[in-house]
Amino acid sequence: MKSDSDPIFRPGDRVRVRNAAPLGHVRTPFYIRGHAGVVERVCGAFPNPEELAQQRDGLPAQPLYRVRFRQKDVWPGYRGSAEDVIEVEIYQHWLEV
Amino acid sequence: MIERSHHDMGGLEAGKVKRREHAYDDWQLRIDAMMMLLNGIGGGRKRMTVDELRKNIESLPPADYDKMGYYDRWVISLTQTMIQRGVITTDELARKLAEVENRKWGQSQISGQITQGD
């Protein structure tokens, strides 16, 4: 049976981080918002920390992904290798196609 | 509209990181232990989540956030969390703080011994 905690993305999928700036407690770092990357792995599903921070149960659990970005895409004027990557763990509701 | 929250400083210019170990003060160890207990680590009742701790740290005024050390932020934040959860009231905290401030220091302190408070 399909549940709300099933991942909708798979390793290799291209995703973009939502460019949002809500109030409340947010785990998606500012520097990665709006950037495109590739799903490296599905980490599992966990209670949503945005809800846990407000004394609620955070259910249904949100799928969490490790997403890989190119350093040169993230940092303007990046001087390292063009192959360098940064991986950030991001919850599903922060990702779009 | 708040774009980047003050605490969310990943990627900002920060200068060189000083890499050195340091000893912890007793009060810092106590705060650490208190956090473990309040989080139910070790099997006790869980009275808060790490996400509430983070939320309340992130709510610190930027100037205070910058001045404070790691455990300063923890102690402020877990106190806020206990008030929000109704474990203690603001009034109880205020009265206790006043009581501690006015505590009469005994002869034993003057001679260099520490007397454990309640």
Beta bridge partners of B90: none
- Which residues of chain A are within 8 Å of residue B10 when distances are taken between CB atoms? 29-31
CATH code assigned to A14-96:
2.30.30.50
CA distance linking residue A46 with residue A90, whole number of Å = 11
- List Cα–Cα distances, B115 to A47, B96, B105, in angstroms: 44, 18, 9
ipTM score: 0.90
Do residue A25 and residue B2 have CB atoms under 8 angstroms apart?
no
The mean pLDDT of B79-89, rounded to a whole number, is: 97
Specify the CATH class of B49-98 in words.
mainly alpha
Cβ-contact A25, A49 below 8 angstroms: yes
∠B58-A57-B91 over CA atoms, to 5°?
A: 55
Closest CA to A67 of A44, A96, A90: A90
Closest chain A residue to B10, measured at CA? A31
Q: At what angle do helices B70-84 and B26-38 cross, to 10 degrees?
A: 40
| pLDDT score for B10 | 94
Q: Domain spans of chain B?
A: 49-98
CB contact under 8 A, B1 and A21: yes
Q: What integer is the mean pLDDT of B35-55? A: 94
Buried b / exposed e along B81-108 (16+ C-beta atoms within 10 A): bbeeeeeeeeeeeeeeeeeeeeeeeeee
What confidence category does residue B1 fall into, taking pLDDT thresholds of 50, 70 and 90?
low
